[in-house]
Structure 1
Amino acid sequence: MPIEQDEIEKIAALARIRVDTAQAAALGQRLTEILGMVEQLQAVDTAGVEPMAHPLDAVATLRADEVTECNRRDAFQAIAPAVEDGLYLVPKVIE
């Protein structure tokens, strides 16, 4: 199904791009080729194929979940302008 000139102009307007009339014919041909490739992909029977999470079946190596720093909350809150019950107090910004 070839893409017509007016369809290219509509798509260009929606995408907010400028397409010269000289480029429109070549662009229409290229878009028609791309849509043809998509139709070929959709025609493939994938009924018995299990979906993959990653094409290379890669496994992420995870680090051990260990605490690596000490608790310095009291030191940080000692220099804060306003703290109450372990929470930082900030000025109200929404009325």
Structure 2
Amino acid sequence: MSIDLKTIKHISKLSRISVDEKRAEKLAGDLNSIFDFIEKLNELKTDNVEPLTSVAETTLKLRPDEVKSKNIREQIVKNSPQDNEDYFVVPKVIE
């Protein structure tokens, strides 16, 4: 695939970015080199290669799900902007 100046101008018009002639030529060259690299990657034989989710093949350590803090409701509700015994009272956001 090859990108010419006409395509660069069209893309810049669609994206509403002004590009002068000198910059358009550089962008065309850069994009063409990127597409050439992608074509090289497409030539690789990856039939028997499994996809990776991460380079480091480790598993997450499991830990038991335990409650660390009990009965701290009063301490939490003290941080509420308005005094209330049961829940946080905050200013209305949507009218």
> What TM-score, normalized by structure 1, do the two folds share?
0.67
What is the DSSP-based 3-state SS (H/G/I as helix, E as strand, rest coil) of the residue aligned with 2:34?
Answer: helix
Q: Does 1:57 align with 2:57?
A: yes
What is the DSSP-based 3-state SS (H/G/I as helix, E as strand, rest coil) of the residue aligned with 1:11?
Answer: helix
How far residue 73 of structure 1 moved from its aligned partner, in angstroms, is 2.9
What is the DSSP-based 3-state SS (H/G/I as helix, E as strand, rest coil) of the residue aligned with 2:36?
Answer: helix
Q: Distance in 2 between matches of 1:79 and 1:12?
A: 51
Partner of 1:43: 43
- Which stretches in structure 1 are left out of the alignment for 5+ residues? none
Range with bigger deviation, 23-32 or 71-80: 71-80
Q: Which has the higher strand share?
A: 1
Q: Distance in 1 between matches of 2:59 and 2:45?
A: 28
Q: Distance in 1 between matches of 2:71 and 2:43?
A: 59
- Which stretches in structure 2 are left out of the alignment for 5+ residues? none
What is the DSSP-based 3-state SS (H/G/I as helix, E as strand, rest coil) of the residue aligned with 2:13?
Answer: helix
How far residue 59 of structure 1 moved from its aligned partner, in angstroms, is 3.2
What is the DSSP-based 3-state SS (H/G/I as helix, E as strand, rest coil) of the residue aligned with 1:8?
Answer: helix
How far residue 12 of structure 1 moved from its aligned partner, in angstroms, is 1.7
Range with bigger deviation, 47-56 or 70-79: 70-79
1:13-43 CA-partner distances (Å, limit 9, x unpaired): 2333222111111110110110011111112
Residue pair 1:2, 1:29 contacting (<8 A) in 2 also: no
Superposition RMSD in Å? 2.9
The residue type paired with residue 69 of structure 1 is S
Overall identity of the aligned pairs, in %: 34
